Amino acid sequence: MPIVPAELVHANLSIDREEVQRRLLSGETLLGESADHLVEVVDVLKSYGEVLDAYSINLIYQAEHQFLNPFPIFKYLDGDLNPAKIWRHLNHDRINFEYAEYCQKAMFWHATGGMDAYFDSEVFAANCRCIIAAKSRRDPLLAVLNPLFPGFLPELIRSAATTHALGQFWRVMSDLFLDLAAAEADGRVCTIADVVEFIKNGLVAAAANPIQYAVEVGGQSYWVLPPEAQLTFLVDVAVPYVEAVFLRGMPFLGTVSFNAQAQQISPDQAQFTYGALYADPLPSMGSGIPPSLLMQDMYRHLPERLHQWYRQRTRGEGDVRVKICMSFQKSMFCVTNAAINGTMPHPLDSSDPEARAANQAYAGAWAQRLGIARTDCLEA
Whether 199 shows a pLDDT value over 70: the answer reads yes
Whether 193 shows a pLDDT value over 90: the answer reads yes
6 located within any domain: no
Number of domain units in the chain? 1
Residues 108-159: pLDDT tens digits?
999 888 899 999 999 999 999 999 999 999 999 999 999 999 999 999 999 9
Work out the average pLDDT over 60-82.
94
158 located within any domain: yes
The pLDDT-based confidence of 370 (bands split at 50, 70, 90) is very high
Work out the average pLDDT over 151-170.
97
pTM recorded for the entire structure: 0.92
Q: Helices 122-136 & 152-185, crossing angle to 10 degrees?
A: 110
The pLDDT-based confidence of 285 (bands split at 50, 70, 90) is low
Whether 9 shows a pLDDT value over 50: the answer reads no
Residues 290-303: pLDDT tens digits?
788 899 999 999 99
Measured CA to CA, the distance from residue 41 to residue 299 in angstroms comes to 14
pLDDT of residue 287: 57
Range of the domain at 147: 17-250+261-378
Higher pLDDT, 280 or 54: 54
pLDDT of residue 14: 65
The pLDDT-based confidence of 201 (bands split at 50, 70, 90) is very high
- Lowest-confidence pick of 192-206, 235-249, 309-323, 325-339: 309-323
Q: Helices 320-342 & 304-311, crossing angle to 10 degrees?
A: 120
7 located within any domain: no
326 located within any domain: yes
Mean of the per-residue pLDDT values for the chain? 91
Whether 215 shows a pLDDT value over 50: the answer reads yes
pLDDT of residue 8: 39
11 located within any domain: no
Whether 2 shows a pLDDT value over 60: the answer reads no
pLDDT of residue 260: 84
